[in-house]
Structure 1
Amino acid sequence: MTPEPLLQMPLTVTDQMNRRVAVPFPPRRIVSLVPSQTELLFDLGLGDRVVGVTKFCLHPAGARQSATVIGGTKNFHFEQIDELRPDLIIGNKEENYQDGIEQLAARYPLWMSDILTLTDSTDMIRRVGLITGRKEAAEQISQEILWSFAALPPVAAPIPAAYFIWRKPYMVAAAGTFIDDLLSRAGFRNVFGHLGRYPEVTPELLRAAAPQQILLSSEPYPFGEKHLAEFQEICPQARIRIVDGELFSWYGSRLRHSAAYVKQLQAG
């Protein structure tokens, strides 16, 4: 194995928000502000360099034990982050909050992702691999994801569906979201695809949209079996299903398992 250089050289890159960021290369003290990107860092073999994660970074199982928990995705504990002395922070436009990101960017190299499609996700994986010195491993993960989705059987007639992410109020994933892109790849037609992002919907709107399937995500709201009857009453003709929210919305290395999961949904 080639020994790691003692000195870090600056690597200036453009992130997915078109921000120029000078990153010490290779970074040795990384803080991740996003669960799916935390898992990616570990899968790239960088677990020993991840010094800070959020309380929502559930994967891998030991991430929150080996690294310091620096708050949530929308409420950073700045003093803890300062104590960690990060030389790279990785965040996301949608999952993190602008004020917090601006405060951190003023003090540390901060690389941001912006994910709306599967293509965006594999681009992010490659770029993170580049700035962390794991280019080949990142390329392998990206290709595995793309091949798995390319191998999905074509669907002649997409199934009209609604994908719920929240309850009280009801909220769905609509146009301009990563979930919407995956729904189309999974053989579904989003009945709320004419709306933007994450709109609130009423039972009346849901009934009028007449989805054949209603997909209740396991996250961020923890939908479960106890909620099936509630939606069945609104749409008696629809099939109500609980789906794995991580496999629909985590846009890092977990996507390697998403195509197989989607194939099961198509078959079931």
Structure 2
Amino acid sequence: MHTRAVDAAGVAHEPAGAAARIVSLVPSITELLFALGLDRRIVGRTGFCVHPRDKVREVRKVGGTKAVNLAAIRALRPTHLIVNIDENEHDTVEQLRTFVPHIVVTHPRTPQDNLALYTLLGAIFDRAQEAQRLCETLEARLHEAAAHAFSPQSVLYLIWREPWMTVARDTYISAMLRLVNWHTLPDVQGGAAGAARYPMLEFDTAPWLAQVDRILLSSEPYRFTQVHCDALKRDSRLAGKRIELIDGEMVSWYGVRAIEGIAYLLRRAGAA
């Protein structure tokens, strides 16, 4: 008797069987599906699904994570569509629900949530052993991070400019950074009334800016470069703060990338 796997929307999924045809609308999940050995079952992905580079180029693009080509997905006759609560539009998913038999909803909020994500997809797509191996590797990374005593740092993690945008503390990004004792400012929760998960800010009107030790410019979704970094270093309002670029994929991509991402943060925080 098979145990049904329950996704982030509370929907229980039966094992998919060998004839599964998967479309992924989540770049980090696409990478995870390949890591689970599901190459032959992946029939569609977004243009932002770029890893693993040598394999995704063989998979048809179906638009972006938000601008989804519904007709392209319909033509692929998927049995399963994988989406994420933060990355994909609810209305789009509801339209897809009219012709895709199984929609698997994901919503990891912390690095530890990847353990359940591996297990969920492993159970649905008959990759339980592969999922278990990933769980063991991730757990080892988490233990490694917990074994270090990092000096606390208050950080401003910038994801956009014009307007400047950052992350709330209940985001996956903020949870990843806490593994090395880096705490994001402002100290807000995106789930709170009136608050945003990715709040805008102005350097002139942010009273907490004085508490920031380090400013991290992410490579995605906005591609910050050394030019932006150098410009901020010349900004008198940010005098005395450490300002540096950071690989956004390593911090914001969940799935199998979390394993490499934690190692990356350990190096950045001086553990290795």
What TM-score does the superposition give when structure 2 sets the normalisation length? 0.89
Corresponding letter in the other structure for 1:255: A
Corresponding residue for residue 40 of structure 1: 32
Give 3-state SS (helix, strand or coil) of 2:245's partner. strand
Task: Specify whether residues 195 and 203 from structure 1 end up closer, same or farther in structure 2 by C-alpha distance, changes over 3 A only.
Answer: farther
Give 3-state SS (helix, strand or coil) of 1:193's partner. coil
Alpha-carbon offset, residue 23 of structure 1: 5.7
C-alpha RMSD of the superposition: 2.0
- Gaps of at least 5 residues in structure 1 are 1-8
Alpha-carbon offset, residue 47 of structure 1: 1.0
The one of 11, 15, 18 equivalent to 1:19 is: 11
Task: Specify whether residues 23 and 103 from structure 1 end up closer, same or farther in structure 2 by C-alpha distance, changes over 3 A only.
Answer: farther
Alpha-carbon offset, residue 206 of structure 1: 4.7
Give 3-state SS (helix, strand or coil) of 1:123's partner. helix
CA offsets, 1:115-147, max 9 Å, x none? 111122221111011101001101111221121
What fraction of aligned residue pairs are identical, expressed as a percent? 33
Corresponding residue for residue 192 of structure 1: 186
Higher mean displacement: 205-214 or 56-65 = 205-214
Task: Specify whether residues 82 and 215 from structure 1 end up closer, same or farther in structure 2 by C-alpha distance, changes over 3 A only.
Answer: same
How many pairs does the alignment contain? 260
What TM-score does the superposition give when structure 1 sets the normalisation length? 0.91
CA offsets, 1:77-131, max 9 Å, x none? 1111111111111111101110111111232211010111112222111101110
Alpha-carbon offset, residue 185 of structure 1: 0.7
Task: Specify whether residues 193 and 207 from structure 1 end up closer, same or farther in structure 2 by C-alpha distance, changes over 3 A only.
Answer: closer
Corresponding residue for residue 31 of structure 1: 23
The one of 122, 126, 130 equivalent to 1:137 is: 130
Q: Is 1:55–1:72's contact at 8 Å kept on the other side of the alignment?
A: yes
What is the alpha-carbon distance in structure 2 between the residues aligned to residue 205 and residue 35 of structure 1? 35
Does 2:142 match 1:126? no
Does 2:269 match 1:266? yes
Corresponding letter in the other structure for 1:172: T
Alpha-carbon offset, residue 237 of structure 1: 0.8
Corresponding residue for residue 149 of structure 1: 142
Give 3-state SS (helix, strand or coil) of 2:201's partner. coil
Corresponding residue for residue 5 of structure 1: none
Corresponding residue for residue 218 of structure 1: 219
Higher mean displacement: 74-83 or 205-214 = 205-214
Give 3-state SS (helix, strand or coil) of 2:269's partner. helix
What is the alpha-carbon distance in structure 2 between the residues aligned to residue 10 and residue 119 of structure 1? 25
What is the alpha-carbon distance in structure 2 between the residues aligned to residue 129 and residue 111 of structure 1? 12
Q: Is 1:53–1:63's contact at 8 Å kept on the other side of the alignment?
A: no
Corresponding letter in the other structure for 1:71: G
Task: Specify whether residues 155 and 201 from structure 1 end up closer, same or farther in structure 2 by C-alpha distance, changes over 3 A only.
Answer: farther
Corresponding residue for residue 175 of structure 1: 169
What is the alpha-carbon distance in structure 2 between the residues aligned to residue 85 and residue 11 of structure 1? 26
- Gaps of at least 5 residues in structure 2 are 191-196
Give 3-state SS (helix, strand or coil) of 1:45's partner. coil
